[in-house]
Structure 1
Amino acid sequence: MCQAEGDVVVDCLRRLRASGCVPNIYIVTPFVVVQDRLRELLRRDGVLESWVDDPYSWVRERIGTVHTVQGREAEAVIFVLGAPEAAQRGARGWAGGRPNLLNVAVTRAKEAVYVVGNRALWKQAGVFQSLDRLL
């Protein structure tokens, strides 16, 4: 995850909060490093303060890799792709070569899916071509 992706996630959460949405949200990514950075960012930022009962628990339970949210559902999913640099082709290829990752990520949402990432790079990564066409 780069800072720009983190900023988009924080902005999305602020907008959802301002609109009166309850925080029934999962933030999902293919990569553990992105999961960890998002958890740290949201704990530091304070966007969750007075919106959720326990921000520390919320980030542990609601931010995870695609594998950790399998079998769960939320009203909304923020899917953070990560691997935003051109040189990270291998990481995008790994994630895009597994249709199940994309399928699990987007089907966790009952109402809305938000996708955060470098679209120009990800639309060339295997199954993410389909996601690009649908967006």
Structure 2
Amino acid sequence: MTLQDFTGETGADAPFAGLPAGTEMSHVQLKVTDAELQDSEPFYTDLLGFDVQGRLGQMFLAVGVHQHRALLVVTNRFSTGPAGPPLGDSAQLIAVDLLVSSADQLQVLAERLAAASWPHTLAGSTLTVSDPSGNVLCFRAETV
């Protein structure tokens, strides 16, 4: 993969059109706005069911492990106050896609969110939910 794969640029004015199909990240760091992770930690652990794999005070929380790496790192380190939406022409994370191993696991997650009255959408094999800071997570059932 080259820098051009990430920028999408073949020329100076070409807009970014996304990463190549099949690109996998080892982990994603999500910026949250709650100063001591008081809303984020229960969302990711109690509601979504991730296990805490690492912690640095009240600034970093690593959840979920796949092949010895945290899937998500939740941090308030770079923004401890309320954040506004990114500017229209700013680089920004639109959503994080996460695979679950079966449609049954997706359904269990949807039921847990519904029982907690947490807003979410289950459409086909994709469950979409936003964390307390507005980060969008899209859970999809793995297909074989």
TM-score, normalised via structure 1 length: 0.32
In proportion to residue count, which structure has more strand?
2
In proportion to residue count, which structure has more helix?
1
Tell which structure's C-alpha radius of gyration is larger: 2
Q: Which has the higher contact order (CA 8 A, sep 6+)?
A: 1
